[in-house]
Amino acid sequence: MMTEWERLQEMPDSEYLMRTVLPVLYQGMSIVDLERPSAPLEFLALYLLKNQDQVKLPPKAVSSRVQE
Amino acid sequence: MMTEWERLQEMPDSEYLMRTVLPVLYQGMSIVDLERPSAPLEFLALYLLKNQDQVKLPPKAVSSRVQE
């Protein structure tokens, strides 16, 4: 049986990116666009690091059949 | 007379983002999609920090009329 993590690795490109980076990336880009900081890429990178916990990913090595 | 930096601040949204973050962001996203690392947002953020010099921005406080 496939774990959630393995399923994530098999997703098509757009679905994978939507699941892992795009929600926080969109927020970050709209703030960069609004604030127009002096170092836009650095600003965006720090925003991603600061907000990465907003995206919940399945655990990597643990089986999804924990309940059994 | 407007400096290059000031002109950048006045650009419409999509043009500003294309000029400042999107070229490096697209590269980073295709690598994340290819490698599917265990911490995608952190991986992307570090890629942006490492490659931010690829985007050349006009200097902030200096006039563009340096040659005169």
A4-59 residue pLDDT tens: 999 999 999 999 999 999 999 999 999 999 999 999 999 999 999 999 999 999 98
ipTM of the complex: 0.86
* Entry pTM: 0.86
Contact B41, A16 (CB under 8 A): no
Closest approach of chain A CAs to the CA of B2, in angstroms? 17
Please enumerate residues of B whose Cβ is less than 8 A from a Cβ of A.
8-9, 13, 16-17, 20-21, 24-25, 29, 32-33, 36, 38-42, 44-46, 48-49, 51-52, 55, 57, 60
- In whole angstroms, give the CA distance from residue B52 to residue B43: 14
Q: What is the pLDDT of residue A16?
A: 97
How far is residue A34 CA from its own chain's centroid? 22
Closest approach of chain A CAs to the CA of B60, in angstroms? 7
- As given in the structure block, the two tokens for residue A41 are 């890429």
B1-48 residue pLDDT tens: 889 999 999 999 999 999 999 999 999 999 999 999 999 999 999 999
B52-68 residue pLDDT tens: 999 999 988 655 455 54
Q: What is the pLDDT of residue B31?
A: 98
Q: What is the pLDDT of residue A7?
A: 93
Q: Does the pLDDT at position A67 exceed 90?
A: no
**Helices and strands counted in chain A (H then E):** 4, 0
